[in-house]
Amino acid sequence: MSQTPAIPTNPLVTGSEIARIAGVTRAAVSNWRRRYGDFPAPVGGGVNSPLFDLAEVQAWLDKQRKGQDVTDEVHLWQVLRGAYGDDILEGLADVARALTGPDGERPTALPEQAVGLARRLAEERSPAVVVNDLAERFRESVRRAGSDQVTSPRVVRAVRHFAGDAADDAVLFDPACGI
């Protein structure tokens, strides 16, 4: 009788995301995996792109006192991953709504801590830059994890070809495409 592996309940992160969280390079994360026997074991992904349990990684970083000085952007990402898990796109949409909606109004699932961090970042930059930076972080994380949520450049070119000419300010929506 074979046992099926347990499905992880916490958000999963790539080595690249761990590096961002800790404020180090990806090479440093690779070194930690080799050097520290208590570094969290991968819980998913493949040999070339392992995925780690975010809660285990954060606990290990805290125990090792690594990544104590993180930027507001990294802290915001951590809060969103903790609140939304694998549904991070909903979190990004909620941040966009919180930054562009009426003052004081926020999506109910968005933690107050995330609202504060996002607004502080938006004051330094702009709401559009904050959302674009978060979207880019998402694209990078899923691309490295081999996710199907990122549309390949070849498919994007094909859709653009068949969509034809559109005004520069037009918004096109394809519900069958990834990000």
**How many domains would you assign to the chain?**
2
Q: Is 153 contained in some domain?
A: no
Question: With 90 as the cut, is the pLDDT of residue 156 above it?
Answer: no
Strands of 44-45's sheet, edge to edge? 12-13, 50-53, 44-45
Which one is predicted more confidently, 92 or 151?
92
The verdict on 135 and 78 lying in the same domain is yes
Measured from the Cβ of residue 137, the count of other Cβ atoms closer than 10 Å reads 20
Q: Is 81 contained in some domain?
A: yes
The verdict on 112 and 48 lying in the same domain is no
Answer whether 22's CB lies under 8 Å from 50's CB.
no
The verdict on 79 and 139 lying in the same domain is yes
The verdict on 84 and 135 lying in the same domain is yes
Q: Is 162 contained in some domain?
A: no
The verdict on 37 and 57 lying in the same domain is yes
Distance between CA atoms of residues 85 and 82, nearest Å: 6
pLDDT digits (tens, 9 = 90+) for 83-124: 887 788 888 889 999 998 877 677 788 889 899 999 999 999
pLDDT attached to residue 2? 52
Query: In Å, what is the CA distance from 142 to each residue of 1, 34, 48, 83, 147?
Result: 34, 24, 14, 18, 5
User: Which range scores top for mean pLDDT: 5-19, 74-88, 161-175?
Assistant: 74-88
Answer whether 130's CB lies under 8 Å from 121's CB.
yes
Q: Is 158 contained in some domain?
A: no
Question: With 80 as the cut, is the pLDDT of residue 63 above it?
Answer: yes
**Nearest to 56, CA basis, from 77, 80, 82:** 82
Q: Is 46 contained in some domain?
A: yes
Q: Is 176 contained in some domain?
A: no
Which domain range does residue 20 map to?
12-64
The verdict on 46 and 108 lying in the same domain is no
The verdict on 57 and 121 lying in the same domain is no
